[in-house]
């Protein structure tokens, strides 16, 4: 699931200068995607690399990938416009980039705030398994994270787990409870492109086993009013997700893409002592969401 950029492609991309992107509402404009594709497919081994990326995300047994862009980040700068446009070009080969938050740009900063709820994405504690925008009728098909800076103290590895594999290990009774519309979590306001609020919702919303989203966030176990049976079933799922997790540290320039119809994600706690690290030196990720194109079989 880790995809290295071939040397020849790296060299070509360092010299590639894409134009600023344009938006159509909150979505990346089709004209920008077409322009980026024309420019990037002219570089050697780009199409082979993006084919491997799509297979890692949508092929049998797949569901996430880490594109190793560290050398490009070092050459161009992780927050330089030229680098971010190249990353956007790779993302647009997977699905359509968009922002569900009208008040934020396409790339949303996820920094570290020592006074934030530790379990939040910008907190310093354990960020348990979840899918993004769990309570939307149309959650993003892919969530992506670009590592600008890792935790200088060495904490905060990413965790991922195959949601459908975890569900398959549950009892039939637990799966039946998870398929009932008995769960709710979070608020829903000022959002774009993700449908309507889904409340209550089933954790298992696929018509058949292994299909659809596994609408889970561990936070609802503590912050939602759930009946005992439904809470127990969700806790059983949480335990299976942890049992099947993979864990790795993102490096500067690594671009993690998660297929939300297959995998859930989270993060281990950052290393203690974050208050001693200057804000400008703390861990920083940039988040971008992707919407699958209409008729894309990868989200069937």
Q: How far is CA 180 from CA 82, 194, 203, in A?
A: 47, 22, 8
Domain count, the chain: 1
Q: What is the mean pLDDT of residues 154-169?
A: 97
Residue 268 lies in a domain: yes
- Which pLDDT tens digit goes with each residue over 54-113? 999 999 999 999 999 999 999 999 889 999 999 999 999 999 999 999 888 999 999 999
Return all residues near 191 (Cβ < 8 A) that are at least 6 apart: 100, 101, 102, 133, 136
User: Smallest Cα–Cα separation from 220: which of 131, 159, 142?
Assistant: 131
Distance CA 105, CA 98 (A): 9
Query: 298: pLDDT confidence band, cut at 50, 70 and 90?
Result: very low
CATH number at residue 207: 3.60.130.10
Least confident of 148-157, 164-173, 183-192, 239-248: 183-192
- Here the contacts of 79-83 (C-beta below 8 Å, separation 24 or greater) are 79/148, 81/20, 82/16, 82/17, 82/18
Residue 176: how many CB atoms within 10 A of its CB?
A: 12
Confidence of residue 206 (pLDDT cuts 50, 70, 90): confident
Threshold 0.75, pTM exceeds = yes
Domain extent at residue 154: 2-292
Nearest to 105 by CA among 33, 27, 195, 188: 27
Does 300 reside within a domain? Answer: no
In a domain, 218, yes or no: yes
* DSSP code of residue 188: -
Does the residue 297 lie in any domain?
no
Residue 41 forms part of a structural domain = yes
């Amino acid at each position: 699931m880790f995809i290295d950029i071939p040397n020849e492609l790296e060299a070509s991309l360092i010299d590639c200068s894409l134009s600023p992107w344009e938006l159509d509402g909150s979505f990346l404009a089709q004209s920008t995607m077409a322009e980026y594709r024309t420019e990037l497919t002219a570089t050697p081994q780009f199409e082979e690399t993006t084919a491997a990326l799509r297979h890692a995300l949508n092929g049998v047994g797949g569901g996430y990938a880490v594109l190793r862009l560290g050398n490009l980040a070092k050459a161009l700068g992780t927050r330089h416009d030229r680098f971010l446009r190249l990353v956007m070009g790779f993302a647009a080969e997977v699905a359509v980039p968009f922002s569900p938050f009208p008040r934020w740009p396409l790339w949303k900063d996820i920094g570290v705030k020592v006074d934030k709820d530790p379990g939040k994405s910008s907190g310093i504690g354990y960020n348990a398994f979840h899918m993004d925008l769990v309570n939307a009728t149309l959650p993003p098909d892919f969530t992506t994270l670009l590592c600008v800076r890792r935790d200088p103290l060495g904490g905060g590895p990413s965790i991922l787990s195959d949601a459908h594999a975890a569900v398959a290990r549950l009892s039939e009774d637990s799966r039946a409870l998870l398929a009932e519309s008995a769960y709710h979590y979070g608020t829903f306001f000022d959002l774009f492109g993700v449908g309507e609020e889904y409340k209550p919702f089933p954790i298992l919303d696929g018509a058949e086993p292994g299909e659809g989203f596994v609408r889970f966030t561990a936070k609802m176990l503590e912050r939602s009013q759930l009946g005992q049976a439904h809470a127990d079933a969700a806790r059983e799922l949480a335990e299976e997700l942890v049992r099947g997790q993979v864990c790795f540290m993102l490096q500067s320039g690594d671009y993690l893409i998660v297929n939300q119809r297959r995998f859930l994600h989270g993060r281990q706690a950052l290393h203690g002592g974050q208050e001693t690290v200057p804000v400008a030196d703390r861990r920083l990720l940039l988040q971008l969401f992707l919407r699958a194109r209409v008729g894309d079989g990868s989200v069937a």
